[in-house]
Amino acid sequence: MNESRQIIVKRAVQEIKDGMNVNLGIGIPTLIANEIPSDLHVLLQSENGLLGIGPYPVAGKEDPDLINAGKETITAVPGSSFFDSAESFAMIRGGHIDLAILGGMEVSEHGDLANWMIPGKMVKGMGGAMDLVNGAKRVVVIMEHVNKHGESKIKKECTLPLTGKQVVHRLITDLAVFDFTPEGMVLVETQCNVTVQEIKEKTEASFQVSANLTAAI
């Protein structure tokens, strides 16, 4: 992981509470599996049919038949269960996922998410994200604050095809943490050594600053 991703993943792990069923989306979210504390008892669910994902396998111990939704080799924890995709999506659509942590291409100030269409690349479809943003009890999006051109990924309005409208509860970037409330988008935390002014300069969206703003240690 580069430094930006380390910051994001470290903060995202704090969203996971003991006893949760959690779905980790493709991309940065899958890195969280390696960072969950051993004393935290959670079940990680993959929409391709596994409840009980473990850390990534060590080199030479990979099982090519054991993969996550991103087609990466993974491990399974004791007590894991395997099932077909229909059963997996029944879990999601039935409201049995406590937390979905997803990557994002763009998030709007209204809490809209665009995360399935990669500009300029051929994609096979939107995967399970549309179901997750509507079926999970809580949706947390994690992504880098700006793209490789230095442009804000937090928009007034998303320019890419939407995954869901007003579905994001919390957004975690390498600079800040935002919550989406009926009153609008609210800055609730700054990452270590990041100022509110820097966040404003790198954020296209409008947001309020919480009266209880905290800074990461």
CA distance linking residue 10 with residue 92, whole number of Å: 25
Show me where the domains of the chain are located: 3-215
pTM, whole model, 2 decimals?
0.94
| Full pLDDT tens readout for the chain, 217 residues | 689 999 999 999 999 999 999 999 988 999 999 999 989 999 999 988 999 999 999 999 999 999 988 889 999 999 899 999 899 999 999 999 999 999 999 999 999 999 988 777 777 777 789 999 999 999 999 999 999 999 999 999 999 999 999 999 999 999 999 999 999 999 999 999 999 999 999 999 999 999 999 998 6
Answer positive or negative: Cα dihedral of 197, 203, 208, 209.
negative
Whether 173 contacts 126, CB under 8 Å: no
Whether 105 contacts 160, CB under 8 Å: yes
Reported residue count of the chain is 217
CA distance linking residue 46 with residue 44, whole number of Å: 7
Fold type of domain 3-215: Glutaconate Coenzyme A-transferase (3.40.1080)
Residue 183 annotated as catalytic: no
**Phi and psi based region of residue 57 (left: phi greater than 0; alpha: psi -120 to 50; beta: remaining):** beta
Distances (CA, A) of 3 to 6, 9, 173: 5, 10, 12
CA distance linking residue 15 with residue 99, whole number of Å: 8
21: which 2 tokens?
A: 């069923």
15, 47, 109, 189: the catalytic one is: 47
